[in-house]
Structure 1
Amino acid sequence: MTEQLIVVDIGGTKTRVATIKNNVVEQHWIFATEKNDAVKTLDEVIKIANLLDAKYAAVCMPGPSDFEKGISLDTPNLRGTWLNFNVKQHLLKNTKLIDIFFENDANVMAFGNHKAYNLNEKDVTQFFTISTGLGAGLIINNKIFLGANRYAQEVAKAPTAFDKTNTDLGPGSLEYYVSGSWIEKQAQKQGLNLSTKEIFESYKSNLESKKLIDKGIETLASTFAIAMAFINPNYFIIGGSVAHYNWWYVEAAFEMAKSMTTIQQYENVKLLIDKFADDSALIGLNYWLKDKLEKKY
């Protein structure tokens, strides 16, 4: 297929549009997402799509959304005219795009890495992205596993921590104890005025920082063990800024998980880092878009 493809990552604060060549971002545009104005944000996407004479696009946007129909529903980070806004129809009406596909970011990150590591239908890939928040995606039979109503791998509130204390995300929340922004918020509640970066940097010198990080390691280890028990993956692929800049944090959790599961499950799994860092969603979208087009056309 020689037609121009574009990928679009609509985030809560910024939107990115790109073309990808040989798994590298070739052309890249970035601009602020208008949190209350869907049309104003999408006008920028339309300009770029028309400039490139794009024919097919893949888009990821925050949930909850109807990804099958390309409709933004009641998304916490996007309000105003984004509520129940049909992004797909608006883009099709105002561009020369023939077709547009929608998915969430963690799922396409998982798919892109599964493909980039040359994994196949016999491989089971469990992906986690650990940054300001925490997302997940699962690849089985070379396909994104969506579950009964597309809510598979929505793991933020999963109670994987060994703690019954009620948090802002519920008791034992995976995201609360493991992700960067929530570790920082925990520190602030304890009077520790440090950024996520500073908390990790002071792990060996500050007892309170160490307690927070150790809790994150324990919770992530528990999550690894639970995934091994229920899914039996042979690959964990981990992305996100917290993981990329503090890989030791992920490795410590993976090592701890050894004591929480069977040796048969643990020795079956390899731990890998996301190949694409900050561009993971864009490149993952491109892999996924090509796969969708091959199957549909």
Structure 2
Amino acid sequence: MRAIDLLNGRLKLRHLVLVVAIADQGSVLRAAEHLHLAQPAVTRSLREVEHILGVELFTRGPRGVTPTLFGEAFVEHARAVLAELRRAGERITGLADAEVGTVTIGTLLAGSNVLLPRAIAALKQDRPGITVIVQEATFDAQVPRLLDGEIDLILGRLNPIDDMRGLRQITLYSEPVRLVARKGHPARDRADLELADLLAYPWVLPLEQTALRRELEQVFRAAGLRLPTDLVECTSILTVRTLVQDTDMIAALPELVARTDEQIAPLPVPLDPVRRQVGVTLPDQRPLTPSAQLMLDHLREQASMVTRAGAA
């Protein structure tokens, strides 16, 4: 198959926007509504792209469209191109007027409770015109979006990135993890409480693909125990806190989360091996936009304040 020349002027920016919209919406009709275009115009433009590429990008079905192998590959590159163009526009705007811009943060459990809200508040006080977008997901789910430019940085517990080229990490502070429960939890009445005693209660743990979950599994194995069978898997800090507050569930949470909640408290069962660094993960080669750099500056400042408060 000959190489396709996509720089000869036939492929337009609107083609990229349209293909991504179809992939996101799952149908030509919904994509047309999303783009405020007539369906025949969207269908015609899709045929133009497929003719230029010489392949079919979507298979049509009764419930919409599904990307083909070629479609998945093209959509991935189209997203990256559009993300870079958005970043270029934001950077030009930021250079011209540092009072406006957008920063998108992918957040994990650690750092989302205290550090991030404080940094956002400080940023907004400094630059009210900057829009901050926070998106919560696991680290593995955030990385491709970081590399594609859809988010500017990932905040949370630092994960090993030896096998992930194109990333760099900045440590902000170190924070232990504690086993927590509500203050009236019946386990608190037991003398010499041990990890094995807590298996009698329900647990809420992070998802399997998270670093914290893997470390907790190692703690259980080291104690000769299996994971709890009465289990909820969740990474939403709001959901975890509510479950712990309203039920007898036990959770493993960063110390700052436990320390700032009046209704929950650590249990006297140590998790000494589970102490990880909290920081930001950034793209190695792509420079930060002015808005993202300001966000990073405020994260560093607030992390320093959190560290000093913890040492006091």
Q: TM-score, normalised by structure 2?
A: 0.29
Q: Which has the larger radius of gyration?
A: 2
Q: TM-score, normalised by structure 1?
A: 0.30
